[in-house]
Structure 1
Amino acid sequence: MTQVRSGNGSRAVRLDSFGGPEVLAVHEVPVPEAGPGQLRVRVTAAGLNPMDWFMTADADTAGRFGLTLPVGFGTDYAGVVDQVGDGVTGFAPGDRVFGGALSRAVADFVVVDPIPGTAANEAHHTPDGVDDRTAATLTIAGRTASAALAVVAPGPEDTVLIGGAGGGVGVFAVQLARIAGARVIGTGSAASADYLRDLGAEPVTYGDGLADRVRTLAPGGITAAIDLFGTETVHAARSLGVPDARITTIATQIDGITPANGANAAPGALEELARLVATGQLRVPIAAEFPIDQIRAAVELQAGRRVKGKVVIDL
């Protein structure tokens, strides 16, 4: 793993060119300072998401997110407040926090504005009972799952089909639907069946014939669907009679289907997720943990889209 040292600061993963895991490098950079209205956080853990490597894969995509070279990497973080800028209230050095820092979270320090609801630039108090690794997985995937659940609004009378149920967003979506009282059928590989059952979903293998397999599992029909991977679950749900109003996607857009976006999650959604974790009602499987100098291996694993749960970088 490449480390670029300047001798004057802290570590941060940076990209000097857009591309895949091969362009990621750990640089030594100056320790940032918190300006007025800002917090400096000493990061202890950073959670990875598909959007991290998607955003930095090429210049056109990066530009849509306002990113230019050189650029950092990762958005979800957890850590401890290290410095408080003028005008900030409600936070003090030593407070445990978590949140989002768009494409700069995999670093020893991040500077953020503690503004609730802005996933790219925020801090929230980490509740007692939530460890930093878990807190570092909540922001992007948790908000996205919450937004998806809000579209289809599952309840005790529902049977929900969730496509890609074992992925980073799926672990939240399955459990949130179960907490809402719904029956959940989750798609995955045959090898993931036990894992999906452990989350609370009834497993069904993806691929050709999905609708028939779901019909066998739920002869009374399904009433809602969330596609977390592509379009297969949408097509299966439509063929099973689910109305478009109760289907949502996160990875693609389909005419007639309302997509879910974590940026549009309801105010307080992230705090509610943390509360559910703290009270033991929701758990986040950590699939793998890597030190920062193994960032390339961590991203390769996460980008393979076969990992069960979340991948976290320890700092």
Structure 2
Amino acid sequence: MSWRDTSLLLNMRAIALNNYGTADELTETELPDPKVSPDEVLIRVRAAGINPVDWKLASGGLDAVVEARFPLIPGWDVAGVVEATGFDAPEYQVGDEVYGYIRKDWAQNGTYAELVSANVRMIAHKPRVLDWNEAAGVPLAGLTALQSIDRVAPVSGETALVHAAAGGVGSFAVQIARARGARVIGTASERNHDYLRSLGAEPVTYGEGLADRVRALAPEGVDAVFDFVGEGAVEASLPLVKKTRRIVSVADPSVADHGGHHLWVRPDHGDLAELARLADEGKLSVHVERSFPLAGAADAWRLNQEGRTRGKIVLTV
């Protein structure tokens, strides 16, 4: 089926908010199936990734930069099967297994649903070696990590410092930097140190005395810094990095005052294909901390808000 008769549209199950709110306001409901534009595909959702930006957007915290329309279905990460294609989407066929970061011009029809439509530039073929839950955990976090690393390009022989290295974004950044030959020092709580070692990083505990602990491993300083947590990580990194223009932060705009980069992740087919290649070559693994059914989205948010997750949380649809 290449184009659907709109007279046959049905309602899908979805998790939605009628206004800005918290996890308590998330409601399981039925909404019309998404429309499919000419350069889009319709995806039958198998799993949707949970990211902090989901609940930050839903709370109104991103109102200054992201337009939200209601009822709002949260979620930007998806892994699923192409169910229909627009008439100008030759890149995909019905039945293709895909994954992607579905961020449109405004937030409304997200991935916490049975179906989602997506522009072809926002998706790529799913990594073959990953299951649905693992694949759904990659797009936003993986793209953030890859685009951060591409911004300052650590190479073989250089040392990178990754803050929040055991989290969803940080764990991908560690692996991508290692795949490019860089040495990686990663900050994390002690309970995650063995996990970081398994990814190829040298762990250090964050908090007071961090600079001394990093200096003990890299007396001459580090070549690049990746901040995926905020909370003073940029300030703590300034005396450690050789050139401040090689600091990237997704959480602290003040990094620009020091010549560094404040990054906002973009959907990108080519980058998604690169992440899939790394996964299929055994260079990128995904740790799913926990999965919830669609109806458990509120509990998934509460767990994510604790800020102690190792890897990813996903919804299985």
TM-score strictly above 0.5: yes
- Residue 24 (structure 1) aligned to one of 23, 26, 35: 26
Separation in 2, partners of 1:72, 1:176: 31
Measure how far apart 1:131 and its partner are: 2.3
Separation in 2, partners of 1:90, 1:183: 37
Percent identical residues: 39
**3-state SS of paired residue (1:79):** strand
User: Would the alpha carbon gap of residues 42 and 244 (structure 1) be closer, same or farther in structure 2, given more than 3 Å must change?
Assistant: same
Separation in 1, partners of 2:266, 2:62: 17
Q: State the partner residue of 1:178.
A: 178
Structure 1: 5+ residue stretches without partners: 1-7, 117-121
Q: Does the CA-based 8 Å contact 1:162-1:233 persist in structure 2?
A: no
* Worse-superposed segment, 289-298 or 60-69: 60-69
* Worse-superposed segment, 61-70 or 295-304: 61-70
- Residue 258 (structure 1) aligned to one of 258, 261, 268: 261
- Residue identity matched to 1:112: A
**3-state SS of paired residue (1:68):** strand
Separation in 2, partners of 1:96, 1:264: 18
Measure how far apart 1:210 and its partner are: 0.6
Separation in 1, partners of 2:240, 2:37: 55
Separation in 2, partners of 1:36, 1:282: 33
**3-state SS of paired residue (1:129):** coil
- Does the alignment pair 1:216 with 2:197? no
Separation in 2, partners of 1:128, 1:176: 18
Measure how far apart 1:276 and its partner are: 0.7
Describe the superposition over 1:233-266 as per-residue Cα deviations: whole angstroms up to 9, x where unpaired.
322322225211111111111212212222287x
Measure how far apart 1:231 and its partner are: 4.9
- Residue identity matched to 1:227: D
Q: State the partner residue of 1:164.
A: 164
Measure how far apart 1:161 and its partner are: 1.0
TM-score, scaled to structure 2: 0.89
- Does the alignment pair 1:110 with 2:116? yes
Separation in 2, partners of 1:146, 1:36: 29
Q: Does the CA-based 8 Å contact 1:10-1:109 persist in structure 2?
A: yes
- Residue identity matched to 2:230: G
- Residue identity matched to 1:107: A
TM-score, scaled to structure 1: 0.90
- Does the alignment pair 1:86 with 2:87? yes
- Residue identity matched to 1:161: L
* Worse-superposed segment, 283-292 or 23-32: 23-32
Q: Does the CA-based 8 Å contact 1:148-1:261 persist in structure 2?
A: no
Q: Does the CA-based 8 Å contact 2:234-2:252 persist in structure 1?
A: no
Q: State the partner residue of 1:128.
A: 128
Q: State the partner residue of 1:293.
A: 295
**3-state SS of paired residue (2:69):** coil
Q: State the partner residue of 1:42.
A: 44
Q: State the partner residue of 2:193.
A: 193
Measure how far apart 1:289 and its partner are: 0.6
Structure 2: 5+ residue stretches without partners: 1-9
Q: Number of aligned pairs?
A: 300
Describe the superposition over 1:67-93 as per-residue Cα deviations: whole angstroms up to 9, x where unpaired.
122211110001001112223212221
Q: State the partner residue of 1:146.
A: 146
Measure how far apart 1:9 and its partner are: 2.4
